[in-house]
C-alpha cells in the first residue's frame, strides 16, 4: 500500500515528537470509546484502508492540525471534573494513534500525573517496538480486530493481520485490560468461520480481555468518502440484521467471553 507524499512535506518523523503531534479533531463528551464520559482525541494519519472507515479524512498524516501536548492538556483539564465524576477519562483514537507514539505516550503520561484514566483505540498495526512504551501509561486498550481470516482481514484493511495478532498476544502477556472491537459487515466479515476463528483467538488471550464489542456496520461516513473522491465499495451493503448480530454475539459467548 502506498502513501503518496508530496515533495513539499517534511519527513514523517518530524511531524510528531514528544512535544507535538497532528490531530484530526477532539470530542469533549464521548460516550462510546471507553467507560464513562470521555475526552476523545482523534489523531491524524492511518496506514489501514478499511472499507467501512467512517473517518477516511484521518488517513493522510499531513492533514489535520498540529498541536502541542501542552495545548491538549489545557483542553483536557477543562473537562477533568466531568470525566472523573462519570468514571470516564481520556481516549486517544484516530486515525491510528500509534503512528505518533511519543506524542501519545506523553499525553497519557501527563494524564496519569493528573489521575486521569487513559484509553487507547488502536488497530495494533504500527511498529511494535515503537508502540510498546506507549502502553506504560495506558489503562485500557480498545483493540480493533477487523477479522480473523487473513484474506478477509486483508480485504477489509489492505494490510496483514499478523502485527495485530502479535500486539494482542503482548497485551495478554502484560495483562493489560483490553476491549476487543469487531465490526460486523454482512457479506464481508460475517462468515461463521471468520467469526468463530476470532472468538477462538480472543479466548486464548485470557483475563486481560474484559469484553468484546460487536459493532454493527453503518454508513455514516459514506458522504466523507464521496467528498474525498474515494471509491466507497460498501454502498450496497446493508447493516447487519438483529438476528445476525445476536448470532455473532452468541459465537463469542460460547467461548466464555463477555459480549456487548
Interacting residues with ligand SF4 between 120 and 139 (CB under 6 A)? 123
Query: Which C-beta is closer to ligand SF4: that of 79 or that of 232?
Result: 232
Residue 114 CB, nearest approach to ligand SF4 (Å): 27
- Contact assessment for residue 141 and residue 120, using Cβ atoms and an 8 Å cutoff: yes
In the bound state with ligand SF4, the residue whose beta carbon lies nearer, of 207 and 231, is: 231
Spatial strand order of the sheet with 140-144 comes to: 65-68, 20-30, 38-43, 89-93, 117-122, 140-144, 178-184, 209-216
* x/- map, 82-101, ligand SF4, by CB under 6 A: ------------xxx-----
* Least Å from the CB of residue 112 to ligand SF4: 25
User: How many angstroms separate the CA atoms of 55 and 76, rounded?
Assistant: 22
Nearer to ligand SF4 by Cβ, of 46 and 108: the residue is: 46
Of 3-42, binders to ligand SF4 (CB under 6 A) are none
Among 37, 53, 202, 257, binds ligand SF4 (CB under 6 A): 53
57 touches ligand SF4 (CB under 6 A)? no
165 or 203, CB closer to ligand SF4? Answer: 165
Residues that bind ligand SF4 (CB under 6 A): 46, 48-50, 53, 55, 58, 94-96, 123
Amino acid at each position: 500500500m502506498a502513501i503518496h507524499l508530496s515533495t513539499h512535506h517534511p519527513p514523517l518523523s518530524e511531524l510528531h515528537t514528544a512535544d507535538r503531534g497532528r490531530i484530526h479533531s477532539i470530542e469533549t463528551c464521548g460516550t462510546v470509546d471507553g467507560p464513562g464520559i470521555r475526552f476523545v482525541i482523534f489523531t491524524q494519519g492511518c496506514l489501514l484502508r478499511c472499507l467501512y472507515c467512517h473517518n477516511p479524512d484521518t488517513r493522510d498524516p499531513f492533514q489535520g492540525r498540529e498541536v502541542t501536548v501542552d495545548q491538549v492538556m489545557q483542553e483536557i483539564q477543562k473537562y477533568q471534573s466531568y470525566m472523573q465524576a462519570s468514571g470516564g477519562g481520556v481516549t486517544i483514537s484516530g486515525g491510528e494513534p500509534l503512528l505518533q507514539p511519543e506524542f501519545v505516550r506523553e499525553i497519557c503520561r501527563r494524564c496519569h500525573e493528573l489521575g486521569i484514566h487513559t484509553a487507547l483505540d488502536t488497530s495494533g498495526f504500527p511498529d511494535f517496538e515503537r508502540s510498546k512504551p506507549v502502553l506504560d501509561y495506558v489503562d485500557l486498550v480498545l483493540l480493533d480486530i477487523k477479522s480473523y481470516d487473513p484474506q478477509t482481514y486483508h480485504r477489509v484493511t489492505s494490510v496483514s493481520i499478523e502485527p495485530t495478532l502479535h500486539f494482542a498476544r503482548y497485551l495478554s502477556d502484560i495483562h493489560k485490560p483490553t476491549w476487543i472491537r469487531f465490526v460486523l459487515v454482512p457479506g464481508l466479515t460475517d462468515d461463521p468461520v471468520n467469526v468463530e476463528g476470532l472468538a477462538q483467538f480472543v479466548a486464548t488471550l485470557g483475563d486481560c480481555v474484559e469484553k468484546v464489542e460487536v459493532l454493527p456496520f453503518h454508513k455514516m461516513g459514506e458522504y466523507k468518502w464521496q467528498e474525498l473522491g474515494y471509491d466507497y465499495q460498501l454502498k450496497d451493503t446493508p447493516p447487519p440484521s438483529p438476528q445476525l448480530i445476536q448470532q455473532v454475539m452468541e459465537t463469542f459467548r460460547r467461548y466464555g467471553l463477555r459480549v456487548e
